[in-house]
Chain A
Amino acid sequence: MAHTTTHHITEWNNYHFNGPYPTKCLFNIDTDRNIVSLIDRFNDSASGIQALIKDSLANNERFRAYGSAWSLSNVAHQSDRMLFNASLNIRLEVKDSQLHPAKSYLSENLFLFQCGNTIKEISEFLQKKGKSLKTCGASNGQTIAGAISTGVHGSSIDVGSVQDCVVGLQLIIGPGANDLIYIERESRPALADEFARRIKSRVIRSDALFNAALVSLGAFGVIHGVVLEAEDIYLLKRYVKKISKADALQIAATMDFTNARFKLPDEVLRDGTVNRPFHYKLYINPYNASEDFVTEIIYKKPYRTNYPNPVPFVQNAIFKDIPTWVSAFAAKHKRIIPKILDALRSEAFPKVDEVIEGTLGEIFWDTSQSSAAFGCGFGIDIADSPKALDLFIDLMNDKGPIPGILSMRFVKASEATLGFTRFPTTCILEVDGVPWKGNQNMISLDDFLTDVIKTFRDNGIGFTLHWGKNAPWSFPNLVDLMYGNADDQWKDMRSILLSKEMADLFSNDFLNTVRLADYRVNIAPNFVALRDAIAASVV
């Protein structure tokens, strides 16, 4: 049986110390390595989790799984019982015979990962098979379940976010024999029913349910297995250039590299056409916005083995570990913040004119930052990005200065119902920095971000917020403002899938704050048939 260690604790914190939050109990679960068959070991872990859920129900305690605790918001926190699942890292290949008859995938590209596999583990595993993830964030420490649950993105302009590479999910929605479910899209089925039976799950094929469960904020039960689509391994060639603000934003607003004023000579073909990059990212010093933008442009290249090790040159955190006294000092003497940021520029920005090549896993390698930090990501339509950037910079100068640096990344829309990359191409306008305590001399982070939200709203700029980052989450009607009716559909799907008792068990303060915890007895009429079908399904 899977081993669980129980720790009675009083508080819990996330990786970047945005808490602490009061917490009673932390379970640390590991697989039973004495079980030889990996499928049996996988199923045994699910039983172990179900036993914990059963006990939590019996004791009237809430329950929540979490991964690497890399979310800077309190989305992963649960004050009753938390399940740390990073040791659940089984990986399974998919055979041709296990594919759904109507599949549109190649079996060699599909893999089942247990929830606690980190992005780095997945990349290393796939590389041994000559495969690669299609995308990932700027670093690699998130677990796969944690990454998809908040919608982790990089800046892969034509690919999407991590959850957009998922083709199937195994969820644990309760303690009973019928409470393991395997869901996929009806429009793009991947695995045969027989495969689901091997992982003791009933099968539900529904686009609406699948898309809602993709970015689930931990609220659709425990994600135990994730079926990912990989692709053949490739190299990424990274250029870092300084581009004038006007030229950088011309591309940002359109993602049109063909007609852009800025061109990288090495990526212009003989006939004058240009290669389309895989990734485009801008680094911006908000206190000197007239200077050229440091721009990271990455192109996909065929894989080969003889390339120099890029790892010493990668930069996967805006700031490396900055002593906490720097932010305390900055909060007292805010006028010097721009000077501090200027001094830290070489730490914060990648080195200009450096060209490196590596796999996805190498270019987006380990983070160099493990101390207190804040980060906030606004999703906006690329067409609005130049205006949004100007408004943001004005606020940082007028209300601040605050100890943070800006960046912009660009991602194709996600199909996930609550994916914050919801615009056709979303620009993620991010501010990252060292946290400080607001005082009469200096605005707090929450108040500053509230001002940004109000400014965007008043200027007609539609926006979303990264679920796993800092934000004033209690801003009135925030989710409605960001998602229109999409959150209603998400709540309907959650209420269709979970019993009221289980929906409550998997809720937390974050869901209550953003008003996503409420259970719907009366769901939209077009989902009644789906609800009945789910209720009738058996393993």
Chain B
Amino acid sequence: MAYNKLTYRLCVLSLLVLLQACSYSVIVSNKNGVPQPDPLRQELGFYNTKKVRDVKFINHLSLLQESARVVDSTCTEGFHSIEYKITFGDMLRNTFTFGKRKAVRVRIVCIKPSNQ
């Protein structure tokens, strides 16, 4: 019994590790410009004290459309960084719908507005 439980746990753990390894994200950041600050956002890592905007939706593409496009109007002075994230589920969805349903998970940080 104990052996079964351990095997089960190990399987779940391996699956989690596998799923984790299958999802990844890439941050493209601008050499220029200062990120718009958010004094209330305190978290370890890249987004610490930055104002972030998360864009998440499933894009249904028509037969003639080839790629998903996100139009964002929140950054008046350009993007400071854009993170594009893909999870294991997103990859499956893309594969099984022949690329016609794409999950879009983008995290945007705008450049801090100047006073000109």
- A-side residues, CB < 8 A to B, are 7, 9, 13, 15, 17, 26, 28, 31, 33, 38, 41, 68-69, 84, 86-91, 114, 118, 120-121, 124, 141, 309, 311, 321, 324, 370-372
Contacts and interface: CB of A to CB of B under 8 A. Distances in A.
B87 interface: no
A118 B49 contact: no
B33 A370 contact: no
Given A69-B39, A86-B37, A121-B114, A15 B48 contact: yes
Given A38-B115, A84-B39, 17 more contacts: A13-B42, A15-B48, A17-B44, A26-B40, A33-B113, A41-B115, A69-B39, A87-B37, A87-B112, A87-B113, A91-B115, A120-B34, A124-B32, A141-B34, A324-B44, A370-B46, A371-B44
A371 B45 contact: yes
B5 interface: no
A15 B37 CA distance: 12
A365 to B, nearest CB: 8
A370 B48 CA distance: 6
Most chain A beta carbons < 10 A, residue from B32, B42, B113: B42
A121 B115 CA distance: 11
A124 B48 contact: no
B31 interface: yes
Closest 5 CB pairs of A and B: A370-B48, A371-B44, A90-B115, A84-B39, A86-B37
Nearest to A90: B115
B56 to A, nearest CB: 23
15 contacts: A15-B48, A38-B115, A38-B116, A68-B37, A84-B39, A86-B112, A87-B113, A89-B115, A121-B112, A124-B32, A124-B33, A324-B44, A370-B45, A370-B46, A371-B44
A311 B31 contact: yes
Given A69-B39, A84-B39, A89-B115, A372 B44 contact: yes
A230 B66 CA distance: 51
Contacts of A31: 115
A159 B46 CA distance: 32
Contacts of A371: 44-45, 48
Interface in B16-63: 31-34, 37, 39-40, 42, 44-46, 48-49
B115 A321 contact: no
A166 B32 CA distance: 25
A271 B49 CA distance: 52
Given A324-B44, A371-B48, A309 B31 contact: yes
B49 A15 contact: yes
A69 B49 contact: yes
A88 to B, nearest CB: 8
A314 to B, nearest CB: 11
Most chain B beta carbons < 10 A, residue from A33, A370, A372: A370
Nearest to A86: B37
B28 to A, nearest CB: 14
Interface residues of B, number: 18
Contact of B42 (A17, A120, A141): A17
Contact of B39 (A28, A38, A89, A121): A28
B44 A370 contact: yes
Contacts of A118: 34
Contacts of A91: 115
Contacts of B42: 13, 17
Contact of B45 (A15, A124, A321): A321
Nearest to A42: B115
Given A7-B40, A15-B49, A371-B48, A89 B112 contact: yes
B40 A321 contact: no
Given A15-B48, A15-B49, A124-B32, A33 B115 contact: yes
Contacts of B34: 118, 120-121, 141
Interface string B80-116: 0000000000000000000000000000000011111
Contacts of B37: 68, 84, 86-87
A91 to B, nearest CB: 7
Contacts of A321: 44-45
Contacts of B44: 17, 321, 324, 370-372
Contacts of B49: 15, 68-69, 370
B69 to A, nearest CB: 29
Nearest to A118: B34
A42 to B, nearest CB: 9
Nearest to A26: B39
A13 B40 CA distance: 9
A521 to B, nearest CB: 37
B20 to A, nearest CB: 15
Contacts of B116: 38
A88 B31 CA distance: 22
Nearest to A372: B44
A68 B32 CA distance: 18
A109 B53 CA distance: 38
Contacts of A15: 48-49
B107 to A, nearest CB: 15
Contacts of A17: 42, 44
B45 A89 contact: no
